[in-house]
């Protein structure tokens, strides 16, 4: 089994992929510098899977310092065609509370100062990608069907608002995002999704809600300890969900 069936980019709380067997590590050099770390490739549930920890295996990279271009290029270089981005997020919508799992279908980009395109490289072809639907519809449906097969509750659809980080947002910022139509807030959804589109990769997001965003829950203050506890509970379901995905 040599073909790569799936690539997974792990977010906060997912620094290795449980159940990956017969693994090999790849340190890849890209035209855009180093990726966040080694890509670990192995067998999982009858698939050949590549895994990359977005923040590094020791969570040493804040969201605005992640080399998104190198990460996507490295996975593409290994032969990835389907990429699942696992993202820790805050919930804005009332039904997207801690430990919820969401497969969003839209996003709004509030980030700044990041390398957002491969077109930034000198001499590169300028591509005006169609980004009206930022996530690949067929891969979103595969995730939803896999969750149903695995008996895992997920929410279909929602708008992911990508903020700069690494700080959490103010109540006023979340109120603005809510007015804009955002249902979730995270720090790593962009430019990852757009870069995947530029490389013609199928890409979808599996958003794990770690906490209610500022002003959306009952908490006076968001506890980092509670965030990681909720995140661990949601993350524990990811391997079982992905195991139910069809092979590419």
Q: Is 187 one of the annotated binding-site residues?
A: yes
Q: Any known ligand binding at 188?
A: yes
* Residue 17, marked binder: no
Report helix, strand or coil for 235: helix
Nearest one of 206, 215, 193 to 237, comparing CA atoms: 206
Query: 213 among the known binding-site residues?
Result: yes
Q: Is 211 known to sit in a ligand binding site?
A: yes
- Look at residues 44, 54, 52, 47 and name the one whose alpha carbon lies nearest to residue 26: 52
Neighbours of 207 (CB within 10 A): 29
User: Regarding beta strands 184-186 and 155-156, do their DSSP bridges make them parallel or antiparallel, or are they unpaired?
Assistant: unpaired
Please indicate if the annotation marks 27 as binding a ligand. Answer: no
Is 12 among the annotated ligand-binding positions? yes
Q: Can you list the pairs that 76-81 forms with residues at least 24 positions away whose Cβ atoms lie under 8 Å?
A: 76/199, 76/201, 77/28, 77/30, 78/4, 78/7, 78/26, 78/28, 78/39, 78/41, 78/50, 79/3, 79/4, 80/4, 80/6, 80/7, 80/50, 80/201, 81/4, 81/201, 81/202, 81/248
Annotated binding-site residues for substrate read: 187, 211-213
Annotated binding-site residues read: 12, 54-55, 187-188, 211-213
Annotated binding-site residues for phosphate read: 12, 54-55, 188
């Amino acid at each position: 089994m040599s073909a790569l069936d799936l690539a997974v980019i792990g977010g906060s709380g997912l620094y290795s992929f449980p159940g990956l067997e017969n693994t090999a590590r790849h340190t890849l050099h890209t035209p855009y510098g180093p990726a966040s770390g080694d890509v670990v490739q192995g067998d999982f549930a009858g698939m050949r899977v590549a895994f990359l920890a977005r923040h590094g295996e020791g969570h040493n990279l804040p969201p605005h310092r992640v080399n998104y271009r190198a990460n996507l290029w490295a996975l593409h270089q290994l032969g990835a065609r389907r990429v699942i981005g696992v993202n820790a997020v805050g919930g804005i919508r009332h039904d997207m509370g801690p430990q919820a799992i969401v497969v969003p279908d839209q996003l709004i980009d509030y980030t700044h100062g990041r390398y957002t395109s491969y077109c930034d490289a000198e001499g590169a072809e300028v591509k005006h990608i169609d980004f009206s639907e930022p996530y690949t519809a067929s891969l979103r449906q595969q995730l939803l069907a896999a969750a149903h097969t695995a008996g895992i509750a997920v929410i279909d659809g929602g708008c992911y608002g990508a903020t700069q980080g690494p700080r959490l947002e103010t109540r006023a910022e979340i109120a603005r995002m809510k007015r804009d139509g955002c249902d979730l807030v995270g720090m790593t959804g962009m430019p990852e999704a757009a870069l995947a589109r530029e490389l013609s990769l199928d890409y979808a997001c599996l958003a794990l809600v770690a906490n209610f965003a500022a002003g959306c829950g009952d908490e006076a203050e968001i506890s980092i300890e509670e965030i990681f506890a909720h995140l661990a509970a949601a993350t524990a379901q990811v391997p079982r969900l992905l195991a139910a995905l069809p092979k590419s």
